[in-house]
Amino acid sequence: MPRTEEQNQQIRDERQEQILQAALKVFARRGMAAAKISDIASEAGLSHGLVYHYFKSKEEMFTTLVKKALQGSALVIQYARQQAGSPLQQLRWMTQMILQNIAGEGAYLFLIMIQAFTSDAVPEEVKQMMDDELAFSAIKATLPLIEAGQQTGEILQDDPEKLAVLYYSLIQGLAISKIQWKDCPMPDADMVLRVLKARPES
């Protein structure tokens, strides 16, 4: 008779991913509010009706992307803390991962996160997530790393929270710069870490 359940599942997985990728680009470029379902559909190369076969609403799509971004950032920090080496070396590894990410398609996810953080025009569920502990989990999760680095003297003696804000501000800012100016000269990890290091070489 028709396709097996297995085949259908595969089609569905592919379509869902295809739609999410398209939504990511469109949301990043136009913002959640200005993004039209028809934009997303045509970016994905299918009809707008099909989008609703896979997602309940525009809000659900956006929320899904925010969750993915949050998971991703949590993962990077987790891996960083599993790396061998001093706290500063772990931070360097993490920074390299992030910069590499920003250089590619990853910058879109940063824009989504920035929208989630700064815009009121975002689904209620996203606002909730941003208010909850999740919101600053990246900063919070990085604090132990910074504090450990201060112990070893590799990192500047200053309020760790302030340092974390400085660090993530720079990262976010770089993601934005990368998007506004495709060929902007990007710094390397050690350049970024100058805001944290006790005694930058050079």
Closest CB to DNA among residues 7, 128:
7
- Interacting partner of 30 out of a second copy, DNA, none (Cβ under 5 to 8 A depending on kind): a second copy
Closest CB to DNA among residues 23, 88:
23
2: exposed, middle or buried (Cβ count in 10 Å: 0-12, 13-18, 19+): exposed
Q: Assess 134 for contact with a second copy (CB under 8 A).
A: no
- Interacting partner of 8 out of DNA, a second copy, none (Cβ under 5 to 8 A depending on kind): DNA
> Among 17, 57, 85, 152, which residue sits at the site for DNA (rule: CB under 7 A)?
57
Which range touches DNA (CB under 7 A), out of 7-15, 94-102, 108-116, 152-160?
Answer: 7-15
- From residue 72 to residue 111, what is the string marking binding to DNA with x (rule CB under 7 A)? ----------------------------------------
Q: Assess 156 for contact with a second copy (CB under 8 A).
A: yes
Which range touches a second copy (CB under 8 A), out of 11-19, 76-84, 87-95, 118-126?
Answer: 118-126
Closest CB to DNA among residues 59, 190:
59
Q: What angle do CA 50, 51, 52 make, to 5 degrees?
A: 85
Q: Assess 172 for contact with a second copy (CB under 8 A).
A: yes
